[in-house]
């Protein structure tokens, strides 16, 4: 019997997924402290379980944790199993993350909120663009800008 290795989200774990995970640096805001992990094949769920921050993907705490990753193409923020975009009530937590990420990242990368699954591949595309790292945070910031506004950056 051929059993496929699946991650916590139910996705088939293959070389493409492992390579993607290793190509990015993931981060998460736990309490008021930002943690990051680089060069890992782990998903956020795997990482959180190993650190004992959650017990499994269905842990209610998981839905509230602001997390994401960065790579040479951008910084991607999201929450929950559905890779939901940040909401206005996440502003303070977002600022904590941005301040921390500025200590790690020199490039003025675009910053995105939320991800949509692309049905043709295992790729995810951003739901909204928030600005560029060194232009954030903005005082009266709203999390509602769409990807269509990318040309304004």
Residue 102 lies in a domain: yes
pTM for this entry: 0.82
Residue 134 lies in a domain: yes
Under DSSP, the state recorded for 145 is -
Residue 5 lies in a domain: no
State the residue range of the domain holding 106. 15-152
CA angle 34, 37, 43 (to 5 degrees): 105
Nearest to 145 by CA among 80, 88, 61: 88
Residue 7 lies in a domain: no
Torsion, CA 25, CA 31, CA 33, CA 39, rounded to 10: -20
Residue 8 lies in a domain: no
Mean pLDDT by 10 residues, the chain (153 residues): 58 72 92 94 91 94 95 95 90 92 94 79 80 78 48 39
Residue 36 lies in a domain: yes
Residue 10 lies in a domain: no
Phi, psi of 39 (to 5 degrees): 55, 45
Whole-Å CA distances, 60 to 4, 80, 81: 27, 9, 10
Residue 53 lies in a domain: yes
Please tell me the predicted confidence (pLDDT) of residue 145.
47
Under DSSP, the state recorded for 32 is T
Do residues 8 and 22 touch, judged by C-beta distance below 8 A? no
Domain count, the chain: 1
Please tell me the predicted confidence (pLDDT) of residue 20.
79
Please tell me the predicted confidence (pLDDT) of residue 104.
94
């Amino acid at each position: 019997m051929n059993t496929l290795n699946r991650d916590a989200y139910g996705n088939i774990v293959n070389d493409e997924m492992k390579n993607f995970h290793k190509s990015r640096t993931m981060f998460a805001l736990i309490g008021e402290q930002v943690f990051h992990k680089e060069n890992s094949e782990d998903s956020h769920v795997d990482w959180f379980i190993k650190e004992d921050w959650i017990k499994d993907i269905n842990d209610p705490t998981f839905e509230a944790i602001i997390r994401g990753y960065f790579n040479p193409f951008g910084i991607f923020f999201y929450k929950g199993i559905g890779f939901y975009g940040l909401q206005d009530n996440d502003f303070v937590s977002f600022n904590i993350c941005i301040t921390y990420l500025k200590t790690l990242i020199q490039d003025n990368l675009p910053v995105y909120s939320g991800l949509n699954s692309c049905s043709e591949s295992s790729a995810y595309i951003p739901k909204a663009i928030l600005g560029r790292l060194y232009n954030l945070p903005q005082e009266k910031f709203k999390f509602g800008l769409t990807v269509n506004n990318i040309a304004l950056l």
